[in-house]
C-alpha cells in the first residue's frame, strides 16, 4: 500500500563474526527438531486456508459489491500469509508445499447468507487467529522468523478493524 515504508533491508541483522553465523545455523537446526513448533506451523497454515475460504465467500456475496476492494486486499494478504508460513517451514525443515493450496480449496459452493452473519463469523475467526499468531510469535526465538510472524499479526489486526467497519455497515 505504501511502498516508501517497506524498507526490507533496514531490519536485517548482519553477523559480526563467524561465531554468530554458527550460532544462528545451530539455532535453526534446533528449531527444525522442535516437532511442536512444526505442528503449530502446520495448524497455522490450515487456519490461513480457512481465512482464504471465508474471504472468498464474502467476495462472492452479491450484497457486498461496494466493498469488494477491502475484501480483495484481505484475501490477497491471506495468500501472502500462506506463502510466508510455507517459507518459514522451508527455512526450518526444508519441507516444500504448494502455494496455491488455499485457492484450490476455496472454489466450493457458495451459500448466500446475510452479510452481517458472514462478516461476524470471519471477524471472530480473524480475532482467534490473531491470538494464535501471537502465541506462535512468542515460541519463535529467531528474529528473522519473528519478523515474518509480526507482519502476519499486524495484517490480522488490520483485517479485524476492517471487518468491524463492515459489520457495523451491514448490520
Q: What is the CATH number of the domain that holds 84?
A: 1.20.1260.10
Whether 134 is covered by a domain: the verdict is yes
Q: What is the pLDDT of residue 9?
A: 47
Whether 103 is covered by a domain: the verdict is no
> Considering the entire predicted model, what is its pTM?
0.75
What is the number of structural domains in the chain?
Answer: 1
Q: What is the pLDDT of residue 70?
A: 95
Indicate the burial class of 164 (C-beta count within 10 angstroms; 0-12, 13-18, 19 or more). Answer: middle
Has residue 92 got a pLDDT over 80? yes
Cα distance between residue 44 and residue 33, in whole Å: 18
Whether 121 is covered by a domain: the verdict is yes
CB 114 within 8 A of CB 73: no
Q: What cell was used for 157?
A: 489486526
Range of 130's domain? 34-96+112-170
Amino acid at each position: 500500500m505504501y511502498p516508501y515504508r517497506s524498507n526490507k533491508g533496514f531490519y536485517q541483522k548482519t553477523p559480526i563474526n563467524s561465531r554468530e553465523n554458527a550460532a544462528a545455523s545451530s539455532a535453526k537446526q534446533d528449531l527444525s527438531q522442535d516437532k511442536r513448533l512444526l505442528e503449530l506451523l502446520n495448524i497455522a497454515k490450515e487456519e490461513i486456508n480457512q481465512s482464504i475460504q471465508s474471504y472468498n465467500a464474502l467476495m462472492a456475496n452479491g450484497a457486498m459489491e461496494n466493498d469488494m476492494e477491502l475484501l480483495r486486499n484481505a484475501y490477497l494478504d491471506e495468500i501472502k500469509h500462506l506463502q510466508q508460513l510455507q517459507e518459514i517451514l522451508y527455512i526450518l525443515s526444508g519441507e516444500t508445499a504448494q502455494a496455491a493450496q488455499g485457492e484450490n480449496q476455496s472454489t466450493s459452493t457458495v451459500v448466500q447468507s446475510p452479510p452481517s452473519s458472514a462478516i461476524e463469523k470471519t471477524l471472530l475467526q480473524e480475532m482467534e487467529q490473531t491470538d494464535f499468531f501471537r502465541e506462535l510469535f512468542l515460541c519463535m526465538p529467531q528474529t528473522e522468523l519473528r519478523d515474518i510472524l509480526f507482519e502476519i499479526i499486524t495484517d490480522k489486526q488490520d483485517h479485524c478493524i476492517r471487518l468491524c467497519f463492515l459489520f457495523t455497515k451491514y448490520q
